[in-house]
Amino acid sequence: MTHVMIDLETMGTGNKAAILSIGAAKFSLEDGITDTFHVGVELASNKLLGMEIDAGTVMWWLDPDREEARKAYLALEKVDLIEALYGFTEWFRSNGDEIVAADIKGVWGNGATFDNVILRNAYAGANLECPWPFWLDRCFRTMKAQWTGYLPQRKGTHHAALDDAIWQAEALRTIWQGGL
């Protein structure tokens, strides 16, 4: 069974937060990560789709504790949000020559009202179809909150979308294999 873990870096915390980057990992609960996706998004392109910037989140990003995350974002090649959505859809629906969208068993985000909802709202703002049906939405944060065991050590840069998506997928595998 294939699952997808999504992580967004955003300029807000609301359900229409402007997207800075999209990171995602396809994975199996048994075998681990099978494919990844990562794209930087031009911040200005969010406005055309009705996405919003929150001053408090801008200040959060400016905190010295986020220096590595800012560097990771600035190092990304960036595309406009519509191009990023098209790219994500293409990645989501394929695995080499095989179409696998029908094989996806869960699309996970870190919060019931965050990653998946924001990405779905971006698709709506672009008048594009979200590549997964709403009933596949899953909440990693809920699973993590229920877990009392150890989680894998974090690797990569915290608040870099792809690094976070990979860690969250590995943490979910740990939780699942631990019997929650």
Question: Averaged over 86-109, what is the pLDDT?
Answer: 80
* Residue % of the chain over a pLDDT of 70: 95
CA separation for the pair 180, 172 (Å, rounded): 10
* Distance separating alpha carbons of residues 56 and 52, to the nearest angstrom: 12
For the segment 37-79, what is each residue's pLDDT rounded down to a tens digit? Answer: 999 999 999 999 999 999 999 999 999 999 999 999 999 999 9
CB-based contact 17:118 (threshold 8 Å): yes
The pLDDT score that the predictor gives to residue 95 is 64
Q: What are the respective helix, strand and coil percentages of the chain, to the nearest 5? A: 45, 25, 30
Query: Average pLDDT over the chain, rounded to whole?
Result: 94
Q: Where are the alpha helices (DSSP H) in the chain?
A: 55-62, 67-75, 81-93, 115-125, 140-146, 161-177
The CA angle 168-174-180, to the nearest 5 degrees, is 105
pLDDT band at 99 (very low <50, low <70, confident <90, very high): very low
- Stated pTM of the model: 0.94
Confidence tier at 84 by pLDDT (50, 70, 90): very high
**Residue 180's pLDDT band (boundaries 50, 70, 90)?**
low
Tokens of 71: 């560097």
Distances (CA, A) of 131 to 100, 105, 107, 160: 11, 13, 10, 23
Domain 2-177: which topology? Nucleotidyltransferase; domain 5 (3.30.420)
Please state, for a pLDDT cut of 90, what percent of the chain lies above it.
Answer: 89
Read off the pLDDT of residues 6-32 as tens digits, 9 standing for 90 and up.
999 999 999 999 999 999 999 998 999
**DSSP β-ladder status, 19-28 and 98-99:** unpaired
Average pLDDT, integer, range 128-147? 95
Dist CA 149 CA 58 (whole Å): 34
Does residue 179 carry a pLDDT above 90? no
β-strand partners of 17: 52
